[in-house]
Amino acid sequence: MTSYRFNQHLEALVEVTSTESVLTKYVFILARGYDQITSDLTSVLSSRNRTMYSKRQQDTQEQFAEFRKHAETFPMGQVFHEVIRVKEVLDEMQKDFADASDAFIGAFRKQLDDFYAALEQCVRGGEDQAFVSLMMEAHHLYPMMTTARQLFRMVRRGLERRNPVEERADEAGLALVFEMPQTYEGVVGKLASVQNAYEELCRLMQVSILDHPLRLVKVETGSLWLSVRGHAEVVRMLTSLIERFTTFLQHRFSIKGKAADISERVIATQSLINLADELEIAGVTAPLEDEATLKQAALTLRRELTTLLAGEPIVRVNDVLYEVEEAAREQYIEQTRRLMPGRIQPYPLSRHGS
């Protein structure tokens, strides 16, 4: 698992345990009520004066009623929804850390299950005893939520400090995450394809590669997390072309049922359209007036983007996730790999095929 994926888990857990979430506020109210009533009951039991004993007992009962009344103002549907969301995030984290020690996550998950069971019982029955049990589970859960939130924030800050990046005003970043396991050859090929595509766009846009090199910020393997920085407008165009090509492949596959139905002519036409659109958006008109140059650039970019994206059913481009449904992934991998360079033919020099 890459540190990008790890950081995603941390970000999700910080979010679902936020002090602003309905669940956190609800658990806090219940936990505080439990602590207060427990303290009051201790005072009641330690009182030797019968009148004082009765008075404190009545006060405790009234406090209990107030706490319950306050708790009932919370939207139960939202509370249930957020409990389920926390459980899902923890399950995802446990799955990725299946071979690692996860005692805290496991304990957190179990306590959440206990709280959820008590919550269901309280909503179904409504008796005071069920509410007391719910308060007790909240008393155990709240400090775990607080500890988790503080711990995960601390780890995230540590990861950010470990990877300082000099950000220049004239640059933009591109982050790509491929979830499939990668071979050495595959990683090298993807790195080269990003570099080659960037250089091709620099040539089209008359941007100096020496003055604006593509800088490698981070690369992690297993799956693959690749982060680069380069000339802002070139990176913007490269990002858009990657997004459009990914969407094109996955959309055509989902409609046709298999990527083999994507003919070379269809891919060639779409790649040419994408590049022309992006150049027009950027206000770069010279290549649009030179058909041979435009077609050669589109061919180069098509080869590089195919190398980058073929066989990858799950791709994250910056913060946007593109994925093929799980049942179709194996077929998608097999079929799109047939599009890899070596089979790609150049464009005809004339738009009319001559």
- Region of residue 341 (phi > 0: left; psi between -120 and 50: alpha; otherwise: beta): beta
Residue 199 forms part of a structural domain: yes
Are 192 and 152 members of one domain? no
Within 8 A by CB and 6+ apart from 207, the residues are 201, 231, 233, 234
Among residues 199, 212, 200, 214, the alpha carbon closest in space to that of 287 is found at 200
Residue 233 forms part of a structural domain: yes
Among residues 59, 66, 65, the alpha carbon closest in space to that of 39 is found at 59
Within 8 A by CB and 6+ apart from 330, the residues are none
3-state secondary structure of 304: helix
Are 153 and 212 members of one domain? no
Sheet with 320-323: strands ordered across: 215-220, 224-231, 171-178, 314-317, 320-323
Q: What is the pLDDT along the chain (354 residues), one digit of tens a residue?
A: 566 667 777 788 888 888 889 999 999 999 988 888 887 666 655 556 566 556 666 777 888 888 889 999 999 999 999 999 999 888 887 776 655 446 677 888 899 999 999 999 999 887 888 999 999 999 999 988 888 887 777 666 666 555 556 778 889 999 999 988 777 778 888 888 999 999 999 999 999 998 999 888 888 777 788 889 999 999 999 999 999 999 998 887 755 544 445 667 788 888 899 999 999 998 988 888 888 888 999 999 999 999 899 889 999 999 899 998 888 888 888 888 888 765 444 444 343 333
Our count of domains for the chain comes to 2
Are 43 and 139 members of one domain? yes
Residue 236 forms part of a structural domain: yes
Asked which of 162, 197, 229 is the last residue of a domain, the reply is 162
Are 139 and 188 members of one domain? no
Residue 154 forms part of a structural domain: yes
Distances (CA, A) of 118 to 68, 83, 126, 127: 15, 12, 11, 12
Are 328 and 179 members of one domain? yes
What is d(CA 144, CA 86) in angstroms, rounded to the nearest whole number?
A: 13
- The whole domain housing 324 covers 171-339
Are 240 and 152 members of one domain? no
Give phi and psi for 352, each to the nearest 5: -95, 5
55: its two tokens: 């008075």
What is d(CA 139, CA 156) in angstroms, rounded to the nearest whole number?
A: 27
